[in-house]
Amino acid sequence: MQALLSFDQAPPFAAPARFFVTAPLFAMLAGALILSTGPELFVSRWTAAALATTHLLSLGFLSQVMIGAMMQILPVVAGANLSRPLAVARMVHLTLVCGTLLLVLGFLTFNRLAFTSAAWTLGVGLATFVGTAGRALFKVSSNNPTIDGLKLSLLGLIGTVVLGLLLALSLSESWPLPLPQLTALHFGWGVIGWGFSLLLAVALVVVPMFQLTPAYPKWLAQTFCPLSLLLLVLQTIANLAGWSTVADVLASSLALGVALFAMETFRLQRRSARARFDASQQFWRLAMVCMLAACVLWLGLLWLPMLADQPIGPMLCGVLIFVGGFMSVMSGMLYKIVPFLVWLHLQNLCRAGEMAPNMNKVIGAKQIEWQLRVHLGALAFLLAAALSPSWFAYPAGAALLVANGGLLHNMLSALLFYRRHAARLMAAREDGASR
């Protein structure tokens, strides 16, 4: 077997792995925060604990996974090599971890210094990531929708970060800015501009590749990412200009776009060549169900005043988007990406004629299926807690903690599998060389 990768070009396994191991820790912290706060957290999305939990999940879990995955995906899918990938990964990871913790501390204590420090730490870390990834990506000619989508998702991340920094600095410096309006824009840019754009760009490759389905149709692949970002920009302008009906129509179009993507993914999954869905496919299916439900609810909140007046709606929508949608799909992707990377890096250590262990042995199928079931339980409890906090807040916190403990266990077992086999292969290499 030939040598696979040249390590000066491909990011070493340690670059993305640190993000994948840290992500579940933040979701576990979110579970612990729900447990320590109790039903009060679910009263409104504006409570300090709810804002802290949202950021533990969105920044702590989702952005960790998204940035780690992007570092790996750029060279493999787009041929875009990051310069000094390990150094960048270390710096971005450290600032993201510290910045998220500082932001959460800011929400929980309303300490001005915490908000200012969080803003600068996250700003520097994310700017480094955007700069490095952007430089690598914009050197590559756009010959497919995934590369275009990755570029656009970086623009979405810039929008999210700028709005987030404005909000954090407003809280610390008491700037007279319209916080609810900025929060709505920050949420829209985070969910659509960064999250959905990246999901779409990556789905175009990973769904057909790992789920053995036909490709997404051209009309969707080529138009959805640019169209979503264009609608988001127009929605932002309408929102800032105070044209609320136009802004609501544009927000509804975005929700319909997400719903269409979810339905198209269902259609592709039905045509999968795999006879029995594996756990990763089940994670994707769950995510698409939740995204569809979130879109319906979102439209209801926009157009039905009786729903818009209830605090339950945004809470349910948040759980469906962050835990049901993004966390499910990221978990499903991790269970494909991590074993593949372990295999790839082990294969690179193999001598001529030697084969790395089978990719399916990296994380046991039963371990993944168990974690899927616990994740499903956590989602159900969180939705129930949004409806009836006094009954379900504590089970929801505990279930989120256990589910992500399971994900952490699975990520660590993949890492240990890699270390064990890498040590064995290195020893065999040295043994062969000394003879």
Partner 1 sequence: MSGADADIFIDARGLEPPEPMVLTLEALDRLAAGQTLLVLLPREPYPLYRTLQINGFIWETRFRDDGAVEVLINHQSL
Q: Is residue 86 part of the contact set for partner 1 (CB under 8 A)?
A: no
Q: Is residue 77 part of the contact set for partner 1 (CB under 8 A)?
A: yes
Q: Is residue 338 part of the contact set for partner 1 (CB under 8 A)?
A: no
Q: Is residue 210 part of the contact set for partner 1 (CB under 8 A)?
A: yes
Q: Is residue 390 part of the contact set for partner 1 (CB under 8 A)?
A: no
Q: Is residue 9 part of the contact set for partner 1 (CB under 8 A)?
A: yes
Q: Is residue 158 part of the contact set for partner 1 (CB under 8 A)?
A: no
Q: Is residue 10 part of the contact set for partner 1 (CB under 8 A)?
A: yes
Q: Is residue 219 part of the contact set for partner 1 (CB under 8 A)?
A: no
Q: Is residue 273 part of the contact set for partner 1 (CB under 8 A)?
A: yes
Q: How far is the CB of 10 from partner 1 (least distance, A)?
A: 7
SS (H, E, C) the chain: CCCCCCCCCCCCCHHHHHHHHHHHHHHHHHHHHHHHHHHHHHCCCCCHHHHHHHHHHHHHHHHHHHHHHHHHHHHHHHCCCCCCHHHHHHHHHHHHHHHHHHHHHHHHHCCHHHHHHHHHHHHHHHHHHHHHHHHHHHCCCCCCHHHHHHHHHHHHHHHHHHHHHHHHHHHHHCCCCCHHHHHHHHHHHHHHHHHHHHHHHHHHHHHHHHHCCCCCCHHHHHHHHHHHHHHHHHHHHHHHHCCHHHHHHHHHHHHHHHHHHHHHHHHHHHCCCCCCCCHHHHHHHHHHHHHHHHHHHHHHHHHCHHHHCCCHHHHHHHHHHHHHHHHHHHHHHHHHHHHHHHHHHHHHHCCCCCCCCCHHHCCCHHHHHHHHHHHHHHHHHHHHHHHCHHHHHHHHHHHHHHHHHHHHHHHHHHHHHHHHHHHHHHHHHHHHHHC
CB under 8 A: which stretch of 74-82, 124-132, 395-403, 416-424 binds partner 1?
74-82
CB under 8 A: which stretch of 51-59, 154-162, 208-216, 239-247 binds partner 1?
208-216
Q: Is residue 205 part of the contact set for partner 1 (CB under 8 A)?
A: yes
Which is nearer to partner 1, 126 or 133 (by Cβ)? Answer: 133
Q: How far is the CB of 340 from partner 1 (least distance, A)?
A: 6
14, 39, 43, 79: which one contacts partner 1 (CB under 8 A)? 79
Which is nearer to partner 1, 3 or 94 (by Cβ)? Answer: 3
Q: Is residue 365 part of the contact set for partner 1 (CB under 8 A)?
A: no
Positions 340 through 359 that interact with partner 1 (CB under 8 A) = 340, 343-344, 347, 352-353, 355, 359
Binding-site ranges for partner 1 (CB under 8 A) = 1-6, 9-10, 75-79, 143-144, 205, 208-210, 212, 215, 273, 340, 343-344, 347, 352-353, 355, 359
